[in-house]
Chains A and B, each alone.
Chain A
Amino acid sequence: KAGVTQTPRYLIKTRGQQVTLSCSPISGHRSVSWYQQTPGQGLQFLFEYFSETQRNKGNFPGRFSGRQFSNSRSEMNVSTLELGDSALYLCASSLNTRDLQETQYFGPGTRLLVL
Protein backbone atom coordinates (compact mmCIF):
# COMPACT_ATOMS: atom_id res chain seq x y z
CA LYS A 1 0.00 0.00 0.00
CA ALA A 2 1.45 3.37 -0.97
CA GLY A 3 2.10 5.80 1.85
CA VAL A 4 1.08 9.42 2.24
CA THR A 5 2.54 11.60 -0.49
CA GLN A 6 3.07 15.33 -0.43
CA THR A 7 4.01 17.68 -3.22
CA PRO A 8 6.10 19.64 -3.68
CA ARG A 9 8.83 18.51 -1.28
CA TYR A 10 10.61 21.85 -1.26
CA LEU A 11 9.42 25.33 -2.05
CA ILE A 12 10.95 28.80 -1.97
CA LYS A 13 8.65 31.81 -2.04
CA THR A 14 8.91 35.50 -1.26
CA ARG A 15 6.89 37.53 1.21
CA GLY A 16 3.43 38.41 -0.01
CA GLN A 17 3.12 35.47 -2.37
CA GLN A 18 0.72 32.61 -1.90
CA VAL A 19 1.38 28.87 -1.97
CA THR A 20 -0.64 25.69 -2.39
CA LEU A 21 0.54 22.38 -0.96
CA SER A 22 -0.93 19.01 -1.86
CA CYS A 23 -1.40 15.79 0.10
CA SER A 24 -2.56 12.39 -1.12
CA PRO A 25 -3.57 10.13 1.77
CA ILE A 26 -3.21 6.38 2.01
CA SER A 27 -5.86 4.67 -0.09
CA GLY A 28 -9.06 4.25 1.93
CA HIS A 29 -8.18 6.89 4.49
CA ARG A 30 -10.80 9.61 4.82
CA SER A 31 -9.19 11.86 7.40
CA VAL A 32 -6.40 14.27 6.51
CA SER A 33 -4.75 16.52 9.09
CA TRP A 34 -2.23 19.28 8.44
CA TYR A 35 0.53 20.38 10.80
CA GLN A 36 3.21 23.03 10.83
CA GLN A 37 6.54 22.03 12.35
CA THR A 38 9.23 24.53 13.32
CA PRO A 39 12.43 23.93 15.35
CA GLY A 40 11.72 24.12 19.05
CA GLN A 41 7.96 24.56 18.57
CA GLY A 42 6.94 21.04 17.78
CA LEU A 43 3.97 20.24 15.62
CA GLN A 44 1.20 22.79 15.54
CA PHE A 45 -2.19 21.60 14.34
CA LEU A 46 -3.62 23.52 11.40
CA PHE A 47 -6.82 21.69 10.47
CA GLU A 48 -8.41 18.33 9.81
CA TYR A 49 -10.63 17.32 6.93
CA PHE A 50 -12.92 14.30 6.88
CA SER A 51 -15.13 13.42 3.93
CA GLU A 52 -14.56 16.83 2.32
CA THR A 53 -15.57 18.76 5.47
CA GLN A 54 -13.32 20.67 7.81
CA ARG A 55 -13.91 18.94 11.10
CA ASN A 56 -11.35 20.64 13.30
CA LYS A 57 -9.27 23.79 13.17
CA GLY A 58 -6.23 25.01 15.07
CA ASN A 59 -5.28 28.54 16.07
CA PHE A 60 -3.86 29.83 12.83
CA PRO A 61 -4.87 33.04 11.01
CA GLY A 62 -7.31 33.00 8.12
CA ARG A 63 -4.39 33.18 5.66
CA PHE A 64 -4.16 29.43 6.17
CA SER A 65 -6.94 27.50 4.47
CA GLY A 66 -7.53 24.07 3.10
CA ARG A 67 -9.90 21.79 1.32
CA GLN A 68 -10.46 18.13 0.63
CA PHE A 69 -11.66 16.54 -2.57
CA SER A 70 -13.99 13.59 -3.09
CA ASN A 71 -11.00 11.26 -3.53
CA SER A 72 -9.73 12.39 -0.08
CA ARG A 73 -6.78 14.28 -1.53
CA SER A 74 -6.27 17.53 0.30
CA GLU A 75 -4.70 20.89 -0.40
CA MET A 76 -3.69 23.66 1.93
CA ASN A 77 -3.19 27.23 0.85
CA VAL A 78 -1.27 30.01 2.54
CA SER A 79 -1.87 33.51 1.23
CA THR A 80 0.20 36.65 1.79
CA LEU A 81 3.22 34.70 2.97
CA GLU A 82 5.26 36.00 5.91
CA LEU A 83 8.82 35.13 6.90
CA GLY A 84 7.45 33.28 9.94
CA ASP A 85 5.60 30.86 7.69
CA SER A 86 8.90 29.17 6.86
CA ALA A 87 8.45 25.66 8.23
CA LEU A 88 7.95 22.00 7.44
CA TYR A 89 4.30 21.34 6.61
CA LEU A 90 3.24 17.80 7.37
CA CYS A 91 0.14 16.03 6.29
CA ALA A 92 -1.17 12.96 8.12
CA SER A 93 -3.90 10.55 7.11
CA SER A 94 -5.98 8.04 9.01
CA LEU A 95 -9.17 6.09 8.54
CA ASN A 96 -10.90 8.28 11.12
CA THR A 97 -9.13 10.18 13.88
CA ARG A 98 -12.20 9.78 16.08
CA ASP A 99 -11.73 6.04 16.26
CA LEU A 100 -9.55 5.77 19.34
CA GLN A 101 -6.24 4.04 18.77
CA GLU A 102 -6.44 5.00 15.11
CA THR A 103 -2.93 5.85 14.00
CA GLN A 104 -2.11 8.88 11.91
CA TYR A 105 0.39 8.20 9.14
CA PHE A 106 2.55 11.12 8.12
CA GLY A 107 3.79 12.15 4.73
CA PRO A 108 7.39 13.31 4.15
CA GLY A 109 6.37 16.96 4.38
CA THR A 110 6.82 20.07 2.30
CA ARG A 111 9.64 22.32 3.40
CA LEU A 112 8.66 25.94 2.72
CA LEU A 113 11.16 28.75 2.83
CA VAL A 114 9.87 32.31 2.65
CA LEU A 115 12.42 34.96 1.73
Chain B
Amino acid sequence: GQNIDQPTEMTATEGAIVQINCTYQTSGFNGLFWYQQHAGEAPTFLSYNVLDGLEEKGRFSSFLSRSKGYSYLLLKELQMKDSASYLCASMDSNYQLIWGAGTKLIIKP
Protein backbone atom coordinates (compact mmCIF):
# COMPACT_ATOMS: atom_id res chain seq x y z
CA GLY B 1 0.00 0.00 0.00
CA GLN B 2 0.94 3.65 -0.14
CA ASN B 3 2.05 5.31 3.05
CA ILE B 4 3.56 8.56 4.26
CA ASP B 5 4.91 8.79 7.80
CA GLN B 6 5.84 11.94 9.67
CA PRO B 7 5.86 12.84 13.37
CA THR B 8 2.58 14.08 14.77
CA GLU B 9 3.99 16.98 16.76
CA MET B 10 7.30 18.69 17.43
CA THR B 11 8.32 21.53 19.72
CA ALA B 12 11.22 23.93 19.15
CA THR B 13 12.52 27.23 20.49
CA GLU B 14 12.45 30.56 18.69
CA GLY B 15 15.75 31.16 16.90
CA ALA B 16 16.67 27.48 16.84
CA ILE B 17 16.76 24.90 14.01
CA VAL B 18 14.28 22.05 13.57
CA GLN B 19 14.22 19.09 11.18
CA ILE B 20 10.91 17.43 10.25
CA ASN B 21 11.32 13.96 8.81
CA CYS B 22 9.11 12.16 6.32
CA THR B 23 9.30 8.62 4.99
CA TYR B 24 7.25 7.54 2.03
CA GLN B 25 6.18 4.42 0.19
CA THR B 26 4.24 5.09 -2.98
CA SER B 27 3.53 3.26 -6.23
CA GLY B 28 6.04 5.04 -8.40
CA PHE B 29 7.50 8.43 -7.60
CA ASN B 30 7.16 11.79 -9.28
CA GLY B 31 8.45 14.03 -6.57
CA LEU B 32 8.10 15.00 -2.91
CA PHE B 33 6.28 18.13 -1.81
CA TRP B 34 6.23 20.04 1.46
CA TYR B 35 3.38 22.37 2.33
CA GLN B 36 2.79 24.63 5.33
CA GLN B 37 -0.67 24.98 6.84
CA HIS B 38 -1.51 27.49 9.55
CA ALA B 39 -4.50 26.66 11.72
CA GLY B 40 -7.74 27.43 9.92
CA GLU B 41 -5.98 28.26 6.65
CA ALA B 42 -5.25 26.53 3.36
CA PRO B 43 -1.96 24.70 2.76
CA THR B 44 0.69 26.77 0.97
CA PHE B 45 3.54 25.34 -1.10
CA LEU B 46 7.03 25.28 0.42
CA SER B 47 9.22 22.99 -1.67
CA TYR B 48 9.47 20.27 -4.28
CA ASN B 49 12.24 17.65 -4.65
CA VAL B 50 12.50 15.04 -7.35
CA LEU B 51 16.27 14.51 -7.41
CA ASP B 52 18.42 13.41 -4.47
CA GLY B 53 19.97 16.18 -2.47
CA LEU B 54 19.29 19.39 -0.66
CA GLU B 55 17.25 22.31 -2.01
CA GLU B 56 17.65 25.56 -0.09
CA LYS B 57 15.18 28.42 -0.07
CA GLY B 58 16.02 31.08 2.46
CA ARG B 59 15.40 29.79 5.98
CA PHE B 60 13.80 26.59 4.66
CA SER B 61 15.61 23.65 3.06
CA SER B 62 14.32 20.29 1.90
CA PHE B 63 16.27 17.09 1.39
CA LEU B 64 15.43 13.95 -0.55
CA SER B 65 16.91 10.45 -0.66
CA ARG B 66 15.00 8.38 -3.21
CA SER B 67 16.84 5.16 -2.39
CA LYS B 68 15.78 5.46 1.26
CA GLY B 69 12.28 6.82 0.62
CA TYR B 70 13.13 9.67 2.94
CA SER B 71 12.85 13.43 3.02
CA TYR B 72 13.24 16.14 5.60
CA LEU B 73 12.32 19.78 5.90
CA LEU B 74 14.85 21.94 7.75
CA LEU B 75 13.73 25.22 9.25
CA LYS B 76 16.42 27.62 10.50
CA GLU B 77 16.23 30.73 12.69
CA LEU B 78 12.77 29.76 13.81
CA GLN B 79 10.21 32.50 14.22
CA MET B 80 6.92 32.41 16.09
CA LYS B 81 5.07 32.66 12.77
CA ASP B 82 6.56 29.27 11.81
CA SER B 83 4.13 27.63 14.23
CA ALA B 84 2.00 25.60 11.83
CA SER B 85 1.44 22.12 10.48
CA TYR B 86 3.90 20.87 7.89
CA LEU B 87 2.53 18.43 5.33
CA CYS B 88 4.65 15.99 3.38
CA ALA B 89 3.21 14.57 0.14
CA SER B 90 4.59 12.15 -2.42
CA MET B 91 3.36 12.17 -6.01
CA ASP B 92 2.84 8.62 -7.27
CA SER B 93 3.04 7.21 -10.79
CA ASN B 94 -0.53 8.36 -11.48
CA TYR B 95 0.43 11.94 -10.57
CA GLN B 96 -1.72 11.65 -7.47
CA LEU B 97 -0.47 13.29 -4.27
CA ILE B 98 -0.37 10.95 -1.28
CA TRP B 99 -0.32 13.01 1.91
CA GLY B 100 1.03 12.47 5.38
CA ALA B 101 -1.14 13.44 8.34
CA GLY B 102 1.05 16.47 8.98
CA THR B 103 3.49 17.51 11.70
CA LYS B 104 2.28 20.19 14.08
CA LEU B 105 5.24 22.42 14.94
CA ILE B 106 5.00 24.42 18.16
CA ILE B 107 7.49 27.27 18.60
CA LYS B 108 8.20 28.46 22.14
CA PRO B 109 9.77 31.82 22.99
Contact = CB atoms under 8 A, between A and B. Distances in A.
Interface of A: 4, 33, 35, 40-45, 48, 56, 58, 90, 97-98, 100-101, 103-109
Nearest to A99: B95
Given A56-B94, A109-B42, 14 more contacts: A4-B42, A33-B97, A42-B87, A42-B102, A43-B43, A43-B97, A45-B96, A56-B95, A90-B43, A97-B95, A98-B95, A100-B50, A100-B91, A105-B45
A58 B50 contact: no
Contacts of B95: 56, 97-98
A100 B31 contact: yes
Contact of B48 (A56, A103, A108, A109): A103
A105 B52 CA distance: 25
Contacts of A48: 96
Interface residues of B, number: 22
A108 B99 contact: no
A43 B50 contact: no
Contact of B87 (A40, A43, A45): A43
Nearest to A3: B42
A98 B99 CA distance: 17
B43 to A, nearest CB: 5
B21 interface: no
